[in-house]
């Protein structure tokens, strides 16, 4: 049997929302906000042109704030037939929020995306991949089909464990005996996980932010291109079937030097037998239908 590789781009249209600091209340820098506007306008246009040239459909994770602020730009994405998924309202880090706040954001953003696209979104990715212990349970409750935030594997889909709230956190104010207990057994949920991967993300190497210690901004695109190719080569050698989801942002990959990197990467990956360019929704559809394999995540103990 030949190889089958499902390759897909997840495009996070954080735009202005990621620079507003609603999460912390810190001052928003108007220059940073302008970078978000660049992403939502120039960045989106350049990426749409690229996908059209490649002849592929992709998945756009869009904070509802971006849809309400740039409806004409996102209409181009929608009308070109790309998938639109959830990414918060103003790019909130859900791990810092109360359960009620998480619910309110899901309710409002699902409503806005549903009205905008005419159908309920199927997928969600956590802003900055900052999840909460309630994430999977809430996605199930809100009828979402898949998540793209966790990292139990790097190239195989699986049903996300819902027991992720079962570990005990250490607390220096308590006796050590209070936390010396194993994690309880992981139990699969109904949410399909399309695993996230920081090493297939354009933000940390290519985005300069004076406030985000994890960003760099001056990494040679050929260094990152090799890093992404090496991951692809290993997986292609070791697996008969695997997925290769890449995460990018219009305000980063819309820059000339990064756009050229994607052109080279596309040529390289596309030259392999068995490669298909799909949306994450299509990956998940195949996994649920049993036409594309995956793994089972095991761990923990029944205590
Ligand atoms: Zn984001």
Burial class (CB within 10 angstroms; exposed 0-12, middle 13-18, buried 19+) of 290: exposed
By the CB criterion, residues less than 5 angstroms from ion ligand 1 are 12, 14, 127
CA of 129 to the centre of ligand 1 (A): 8
Burial class (CB within 10 angstroms; exposed 0-12, middle 13-18, buried 19+) of 25: exposed
Query: Is residue 30 included in any domain, yes or no?
Result: yes
As given in the structure block, the two tokens for residue 249 are: 């942002």
pLDDT for residue 40: 98
Residue 104: φ, ψ to 5°: -60, -40
pLDDT digits (tens, 9 = 90+) for 198-256: 999 999 999 998 888 889 999 999 999 999 999 999 999 999 999 999 999 999 999 99
CA of 91 to the centre of ligand 1 (A): 6
Asked if residue 250 lies in contact with residue 40, where contact means CB atoms within 8 angstroms, the answer is yes
- Count CB-CB contacts under 10 A for residue 148: 28
pLDDT digits (tens, 9 = 90+) for 44-102: 999 999 999 999 999 999 999 999 999 999 999 999 999 999 999 999 999 999 999 99
Split at pLDDT 50, 70, 90, the class of 26 is confident
Query: Is residue 173 included in any domain, yes or no?
Result: no
Query: Is residue 294 included in any domain, yes or no?
Result: no
As given in the structure block, the two tokens for residue 27 are: 């001052």
What domain range includes position 86?
4-166+178-289
Sign of the alpha-carbon dihedral angle for 101, 103, 109, 111: negative
* Whole-number Å distance between alpha carbons of 161 and 132: 13
Query: Is residue 296 included in any domain, yes or no?
Result: no
* Whole-number Å distance between alpha carbons of 9 and 59: 6
* Whole-number Å distance between alpha carbons of 294 and 298: 13
Counting the structural domains of the chain, the total is 1
CA of 43 to the centre of ligand 1 (A): 14
pLDDT for residue 77: 98
pLDDT for residue 163: 61
pTM for this entry:
0.96
Q: Which helix (H) or strand (E) holds 82?
A: none
The CATH number of the domain where 113 resides is what?
3.20.20.370
* Whole-number Å distance between alpha carbons of 23 and 10: 23
CA of 303 to the centre of ligand 1 (A): 37
pLDDT for residue 213: 85
Q: Which helix (H) or strand (E) holds 258?
A: helix 256-270
pLDDT of 266 above 80: yes
CA of 178 to the centre of ligand 1 (A): 36
pLDDT for residue 164: 57
pLDDT for residue 1: 65
CA of 109 to the centre of ligand 1 (A): 14
Asked if residue 155 lies in contact with residue 196, where contact means CB atoms within 8 angstroms, the answer is no
């Amino acid at each position: 049997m030949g190889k089958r590789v499902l390759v897909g781009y997840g495009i996070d249209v954080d735009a202005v929302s990621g620079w507003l600091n609603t999460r912390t209340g810190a001052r928003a820098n108007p220059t940073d906000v302008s970078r978000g506007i660049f992403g939502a306008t120039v960045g989106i246009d350049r990426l749409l042109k690229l996908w059209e040239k490649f002849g592929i459909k992709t998945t756009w994770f869009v904070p509802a704030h971006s849809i309400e602020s740039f409806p004409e730009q996102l209409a181009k994405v929608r009308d070109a037939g790309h998938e639109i998924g959830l990414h918060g309202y103003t790019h909130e880090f859900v791990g810092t929020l109360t359960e009620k706040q998480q619910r309110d954001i899901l309710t409002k953003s699902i409503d806005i995306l549903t009205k905008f696209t005419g159908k309920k979104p199927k997928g969600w990715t956590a802003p900055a991949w900052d999840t909460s212990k309630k994430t999977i349970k809430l996605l199930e409750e809100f009828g979402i089909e898949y998540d793209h935030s966790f990292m139990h594997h790097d190239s195989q889909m699986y049903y996300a464990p819902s027991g992720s709230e079962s570990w005990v956190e250490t607390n220096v104010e308590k006796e050590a005996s209070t936390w010396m207990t194993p994690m309880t057994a992981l139990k699969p949920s109904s949410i399909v996980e399309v695993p996230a991967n920081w090493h297939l993300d354009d933000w940390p190497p290519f985005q300069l932010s004076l406030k985000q210690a994890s960003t760099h901004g001056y990494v040679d695109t050929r260094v990152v291109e090799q890093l992404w190719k090496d991951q692809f080569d290993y997986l292609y050698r070791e697996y008969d079937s695997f997925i290769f989801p890449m995460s990018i942002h219009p305000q980063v990959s819309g820059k000339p030097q990064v756009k050229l990197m994607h052109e080279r990467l596309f040529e390289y990956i596309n030259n392999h037998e068995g490669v298909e360019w799909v949306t994450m929704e299509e990956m998940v559809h195949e996994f649920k239908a049993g036409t594309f394999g995956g793994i089972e995540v095991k761990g923990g103990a029944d205590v």
